Amino acid sequence: MSLDRYSRQILFTPIGKQGQEKLLASRVTMIGCGALGTGLANNLARAGVGFMRIVDRDFIEMNNLQRQLLFDETDVQENLPKAVAGANRIMKINSDIKTEPIVADVNYTNVEEFIKDADIVLDGTDNFETRFLLNDACVKHGKTWIYGGCVGSYGLVMVVIPGQTACVRCVFENAPPPGVAPTCDTAGVLNTIASIISSYQSTEAVKILTGNMAAVNKNLLSIDIWSNQFMQLKTAKNADCPVCGQKKFEFLEAKEGTHITSLCGRNAVQITQKIPAKMDFADISKRLSQLGKVTYNKFLLKFEQNECEITLFTDGRAIVKGTNDPAKARTLYAKYVGS
């Protein structure tokens, strides 16, 4: 493998040839492939991270293109999941690296498997429940991870090194109740703040993966690009923290039954089956085509009818658009897909 493509990065003294070789040997797990995730994937693929696992539960919509760097209109037309389209684009950017796209909802049943062989875990998610889940899993297994979030013109970045730095629960004791905190779907977001936050996350990842630990920012970085405010907020380990202090990993505990999540601001509900079921899209298409418009590929099936739009994934998970009511979404799922 030629290192010529990384020549300008190798010329940067803190990285050099040795650091570049470390990057090429590194393994990254990225949770979420939206505004932050696509920026992270783009930066780290070009930097030469050797292996990238991309996990995302969603599919691409036209309103994603304003800020999600790896996608284009063709991906929308083809109904591609974000993880798959992201991996496809990464391989066009840098065919030397390996990618593993996983179309899945990250939850207590799979998160530990996704992070187990990663050198670093990167947060490209859009909700605190998943971030708290990541925090539990990474602290439990001693995995460094980099929290990032943005909404409007504002964003945050924080590096979590288990045993050395504060964890996310040291700083944010509890997640805000659903519907209280603003989201990109309720308050909007500038594509520039997403690029800035993902760039900071990427840079911290490169520092860690190349062994430049003295350069790592161990504080919480807060940026508002519209009001030009940049702040470093000092963080410290909390002995009473339920995660890194008391080693209680409540977000990794089993939750019974079907998991239903209202996707705030999207007028949509996600339904995840406790026991995944293999979906036969051809058979389902024949049945539903008499009731509405059906399109499908090997990754997902989309059913559009007057009262709803259901996107069904191969394991039985679905996103039901047209309602914020979990009970109604469950009824529509049972009506058109099955109980």
Mean pLDDT score, 66-94:
96
Quick one: 195 and 266 in the same domain? Answer: no
What's the number of domains the chain is made of? 2
Quick one: 239 and 296 in the same domain? Answer: no
- pLDDT reported for residue 272: 85
Average model confidence (pLDDT) for the chain? Answer: 91
Q: At 328, which CATH number?
A: 3.30.310.10
- Among candidate residues 234, 251, 268, the one where a domain is terminated: 251
Quick one: 197 and 294 in the same domain? Answer: no
% of the chain residues with pLDDT over 90: 75
pTM of the shown model:
0.87
- pLDDT reported for residue 320: 93
C-alpha distances (whole Å) from 236 to each of 9, 72, 99 are 33, 42, 35
Quick one: 234 and 113 in the same domain? Answer: yes
pLDDT tier, 179 (very low <50, low <70, confident <90, very high otherwise): low
C-alpha distances (whole Å) from 28 to each of 57, 123, 125, 284 are 18, 11, 15, 36
Quick one: 160 and 280 in the same domain? Answer: no
Convert the pLDDT of each residue in 130-178 to its tens digit.
999 999 999 999 999 999 999 999 999 999 999 999 999 999 988 765 5
Which structural domain range is residue 291 located in?
Answer: 259-336
Report strand pairing: 120-123 vs 145-151.
parallel
Distance CA 162, CA 32 (A): 21
Surface-to-core class of residue 130, CB atoms within 10 Å of its CB (0-12 exposed, 13-18 middle, 19+ buried): buried
Convert the pLDDT of each residue in 271-329 to its tens digit.
887 667 788 999 999 889 988 999 999 999 999 988 789 999 998 899 999 888 888 88
Convert the pLDDT of each residue in 39-50 to its tens digit.
999 999 999 999
Q: Is the pLDDT higher at 173 or at 81?
A: 81
Q: At 78, which CATH number?
A: 3.40.50.720
Quick one: tokens of 207? Answer: 């520092």
- pLDDT reported for residue 131: 94
- Among candidate residues 224, 251, 278, the one where a domain is terminated: 251
- pLDDT reported for residue 339: 58
Q: Which of 138, 167, 184, 308 is catalytic?
A: 184
Q: Is the pLDDT of residue 84 over 80?
A: yes
Quick one: 149 and 288 in the same domain? Answer: no
- Is 264 in the active site? no
Residues 6+ away with beta carbon under 8 Å from 87: 52, 54, 99, 100, 101
